[in-house]
Chains A and B, each alone.
Chain A
Amino acid sequence: MLKSTFLKAVAATALTFSTWASAQAVDLQFYFPVAVGGKAADTIQELTAEYVAQNPDVNIDAVYAGSYQDTVAKAITASRGGNPPQLSVILSVDMYTLIDEDLIVPFDDYLTTEEDKKWLEGFYPAFMENSQTGGKTYGIPFQRSTPVLYWNKDAFKDAGLDPEVAPETWEEMVEFGKKLTKKDASGNATQWGVRIPSSGFPYWLFQGLAIANGAELVNAEGNKTNFDDPKVVEALQYLVDLSTKHEVMAPGIIEWGATPKAFFEGQTAMMWTSTGNLTNVRDNAPFDFGVAMLPAKVTRGAPTGGGNFYLFKGASDEQNKAAVEFVQWITAPEQSAKWTIATGYVAPRAETWETEEMKAYTADFAPALVARDQLEFAKAELSTYQNQRVTGLFNDALAAVITGQKDAETALKEAQAQADEILAEYR
């Protein structure tokens, strides 16, 4: 009798204790997009579950939110509807938009100790360009990428080129391309030299040319573009010349999604595309392939891409603190290595590359290192206030030149004038 009363008392205490504990736990909602195939969503869910298991005082609800575009739509709608997530991964280029909509808060208020500041400095500067503005940090790099050049070693051998050497400069890319382009009797190309996709968001890969030519498309405040800079015009002329003058690339708009397939099937000997494709190419290319930095003009150069963590407005201090701690944990070497190996994204902190897992991974698969080494020359992805509209103008100008409707200088001048009109109010 006494024993059972005692047990009941213990049970009751345990019960109150557990409800008390869960009442004290901080609840976080975290939206994430998925832009690579396979197990990316599962990996995020697993990492989050692991963190929650280790930290019983935090509850994190990781919510899959579709593509990048869907995620930003969901986050904005939920915020306007009075139910914002506390944390979300969204494209780094949406930073100005989110600031303009007044939806996010900077991380700085929660990164006050010396240790925290040091942590912030541990990210590659190229990734931070899209994450900081006006002296504040609004984004923490997470699923970041950069474009690289993939080449087919067998095709290089067939064309009498050294299969281990990729083109270093723009001139070499043309020269190699001419040797690699094969035509049948009726003059149709059966294999092109190079393929730089231009559908959907041509500005991204084009930045690989513009940055290499020493141009900066936009200032650090995101309110002044330099679309009509002669260096930008020259870069665009080079892109068009690849198909019209040198005839080493298919003319017209080139599909982004079909590019890896075209590479696997030998329709092109080289392709420019995201490092997000590394795992895909590794699994599916039926030949030996190499990965190199984008070729140089006055310098090496490439844009960065991908998504950052953002803190949303409307959360309590406690929630924001918990969210920042979670971000620090998931970008820490061990977790970051797991994420990079599962997806092919570039680990955004130098220390991650020093872990045993990453060393084993890169020893087995050296191309993963190319992306990291290229970061030294990488610059921010094109991002401005009113980003959708301004980038849209620039994309339209590029498409008009690629399809031969306008010449490079006129199209870029027009785009610049229109961008000036939109951005004037942000200066």
Chain B
Amino acid sequence: MTRASDMFDRFLNTFAAWALALLWILPLAYAVWTAIHPSAYEANFDLFAPLTTENFVKAWQAAPFHRYFLNTFILVTMILAGQFLLCTLAAFAFARFEFPGRNVLFALVLLQLLVMPDILMVENYQTMRLLNLVDTIPAIALPYIASGFGIFLLRQTFMTIPKELDEAARIEGASVLGVLWKVYIPLAKPTYLAYGLVSVSHHWNNFLWPLIVTNSVETRPVTVGLSVFSAIDSGIEWSVINAATLMTSGPLLIAFLLFQRQFVQSFMRAGIK
């Protein structure tokens, strides 16, 4: 009896997992299908429909994507490097130092999580103009570098690291930054990986702020290039738009497939779900 119900339970689990996975992959499968077939097959499923790469060629030519890819790459690298540096130092200070006003300051950092970045758009634009940075890649990156989420996440991780390790390192003669570099950062690696993934994918996909603060091809990211295809006045060419979408999200998809195991593990350890 128990065995039969166990089996039934397992069957249900497997079935549900498959059903959810299929639902999840369906839009992606549709994107791949339409991207590699001529537009006549957008809504007709025919297993032997002729294959074509023409959609990708068309999409690639619709905007200077090679430049946009370079810009996006510079942008996400710049943001990630800045975030790691700032958030590590801030989180370390909040986690391991006693100083007056610590809790108030930390509450202020947490407050940032409650504010939608879109509300600050005008204010950020004014700041970028004061710094004379409008229409540059740093202008897209700067508002995101002091990330409240990153500080919070790293602080929580640093707090879980046993104080004994810290003290042992100090007895060995390590400086404050030495302890951070040799003890805390290596132990928080899964958190860095998880946070890095969230940050990179978020900024890879960010659209409105980059569009507003930049004006030229030399500074704009791929998402702005992708928006050329949203032509509401003239009907949508699904095959080309899907080809372009696959193209622009391709690097992220490939990276995810390559590092899938590390990502999943680091998410479990870092507790972001």
Give A contacts to B, CB under 8 Å: 29, 34-38, 40-41, 61, 63-67, 70, 73-74, 77-78, 80-83, 145, 200, 256-261, 265, 273-274, 276-277, 279-280, 284, 306, 344
Contacting residues of chain B (178-233) with chain A, CB-CB under 8 angstroms: 208, 211-212, 215-216, 224, 227-233
A82 contacts across to B, CB distance below 8 A: 126, 129
B233 A81 Cβ-Cβ under 8 A: no
8 A-B pairs with C-beta separation under 8 A: A36-B234, A38-B231, A61-B215, A70-B211, A77-B122, A265-B44, A276-B233, A277-B235
Residue of A nearest to B214 (CB): A63
Contact present for A261 and B42 (CB under 8 Å)? yes
* Complex alpha-carbon distance, A256 and B208, angstroms: 24
In the complex, the answer to whether B229 meets A37 with C-beta atoms within 8 Å is yes
Name which residue of chain B comes closest to A305, CB basis.
B233
Contact A276-B212, Cβ < 8 Å, known A37-B229, A66-B227? no
Contact B129 A37 (CB under 8 A): no
Contact of A66 among B42, B211, B216, B233 (CB under 8 A): B211
* Residues in A neighbouring B230, C-beta threshold 8 A: 67
Query: Which of A63, A77, A261, A277 touches B234 (beta carbons < 8 Å)?
Result: A277
- Asked if B134 CB lies within 8 Å of chain A CBs, one says yes
- The CA-CA distance from A37 to B234 in the complex, in Å, is 6
Known contacts A83-B129, A256-B232; is-contact A63 B215 (Cβ 8 Å)? yes
**In the complex, chain B residues 64-103 whose Cβ is within 8 Å of any chain A Cβ:** none
A273 to B231 CA separation, bound complex (whole angstroms): 14
Q: Do B211 and A37 have beta carbons less than 8 Å apart?
A: no
Closest to A67 in B: B230
Question: Smallest CB–CB gap between A202 and chain B, Å?
Answer: 14
Q: How far is the CB of B272 from chain A (nearest CB, A)?
A: 31
Contacts known (A259-B235, A279-B234, A344-B234); A70 close to B227, Cβ less than 8 A: yes
**Chain B interface size, under 10 / 10 to 19 / 20 to 34 / 35 or more:** 20 to 34
Q: Is B167 interfacial (CB 8 A cutoff)? A: no
- Closest-by-CB residue of A relative to B231 is A37
Interface contact A74-B231, CB-CB below 8 Å: no
> B43 at interface (Cβ–Cβ under 8 A)?
yes
B108 interface hit (Cβ, 8 Å): no
**A74-B211, A77-B125, A81-B126 known; A261-B134 Cβ under 8 A:** no
Chain A residues positioned under 8 Å from B134 (CB to CB):
83
Does B121 sit within 8 A of A, measured CB to CB? Answer: yes
Establish whether residues A276 and B234, one from each chain, have CB atoms under 8 Å apart when the complex forms. yes
Which residues of B lie under 8 Å from residue A265 when comparing CB positions?
43-44
B227–A280 contact, CB under 8 A?
no
B9 interface hit (Cβ, 8 Å): no
Q: Is the CB of A66 within 8 A of B224?
A: yes
The contact of B232 among A29, A35, A284, by CB within 8 Å, is A35
Report whether B212 and A78 are in contact in the complex, using a CB–CB cutoff of 8 Å: yes
Q: Could you say which of B121, B232, B236 has the most chain A C-beta atoms within 10 Å of its C-beta?
A: B232
CB pair A81 B43 closer than 8 Å: no
Chain B residue numbers with a CB within 8 Å of A257 are 232, 235-236
- In the bound assembly, the distance between CA atoms of A78 and B39 in angstroms comes to 39
**Inter-chain contacts of A40 with B (CB < 8 A):** 231
Give a binary string over B114-126; 1 marks a CB under 8 Å from any A CB, 0 the rest.
Answer: 0000000110011
Shortest beta-carbon distance from A310 to chain B in Å: 17
Smallest CB separation, B101 vs chain A (Å): 32
Contacts of A66 in B (CB 8 A): 211, 224, 227
A82 to B130, CA, bound (A): 10
In the assembled complex, the Cα of A138 lies from the Cα of B5 at a distance in Å of: 74
- Closest CB in chain A relative to B140 CB, distance in Å: 14
Are the C-beta atoms of A73 and B212 separated by less than 8 Å?
yes
A65 (CB) vs chain B CBs: closest residue: B211
Chain B minimum-CB-distance residue to A264: B40
What residues on A are CB-neighbors of B235 within 8 Å?
A: 37, 257, 259-261, 273, 277, 280
Which of chain B's residues has its CB closest to A307's CB? B233
Chain B 99-112 interface 0/1 with A at a Cβ cutoff of 8 Å (1 = within): 00000000000000
Tell me whether B122 and A80 are in contact (CB under 8 A).
yes
Chain A: minimal CB distance from B60 (Å) = 15
Top 7 A-B pairs, shortest CB-CB distance: A276-B233, A81-B125, A260-B235, A37-B231, A35-B233, A36-B234, A63-B215
* Residue ID in chain B nearest A306 by CB atoms: B233
A70 to B232, CA, bound (A): 13
CB contacts under 8 Å to A, within B17-55, are 39, 42-44
On chain A, the residues within 8 Å of B128 by CB distance are: 81
A325 smallest CB distance to B (angstroms):
22
Q: What is the CB-to-nearest-CB distance from A347 to chain B, in angstroms, rounded to a whole number?
A: 16
A265 to B44, CA, bound (A): 10
**B233 proximity list for chain A (CB < 8 A):** 35-36, 145, 274, 276-277, 306
Minimum C-beta distance from A28 to chain B (A): 12
Q: Kindly provide the distance from the CB of B120 to the nearest chain A CB, expressed in whole angstroms.
A: 11
Neighbour of A36 across the interface among B211, B212, B231, CB < 8 A: B231
Partner of A34, one of B215, B216, B231, B237: B231
Task: Chain B residues near A63: list those with CB within 8 A.
Answer: 215-216
CB contacts (< 8 Å) of A80 on chain B: these are 122, 125-126
In the assembly, what is the distance between CA of A81 and CA of B128, in Å?
Answer: 9
Given A78-B125, A81-B125, A277-B233, 14 new contacts (CB under 8 A): A63-B215, A64-B228, A66-B211, A70-B208, A80-B126, A81-B129, A82-B129, A83-B125, A256-B232, A257-B232, A273-B235, A277-B235, A279-B234, A280-B234
How far does the alpha carbon of A81 sit from the alpha carbon of B232 in the complex, in Å?
Answer: 29
- Which residues of chain B come closer than 8 Å to A29, judged between CB atoms? 215
B228, A34: Cβ atoms closer than 8 Å: yes
**Bound-state Cα–Cα, A61 to B215, Å:** 9
Chain A residue at smallest Cβ distance from B128: A81
| Smallest beta-carbon distance A23→chain B, Å | 19
Residue from B129, B232, B236, B237 in contact with A67 in the complex, judged by beta carbons closer than 8 Å: B232
CB B24 to nearest CB in A, in angstroms, measures: 23
Q: Chain B nearest CB: distance from A106 CB in Å?
A: 25
Nearest opposing residue in chain B for A76, CB measure: B122
A70 nearest in chain B by CB position: B211
CB <8 Å contact, A41 and B228: yes
A81 near B234 with CB under 8 A, answer no
CB of A315, distance to nearest CB on chain B (Å): 16
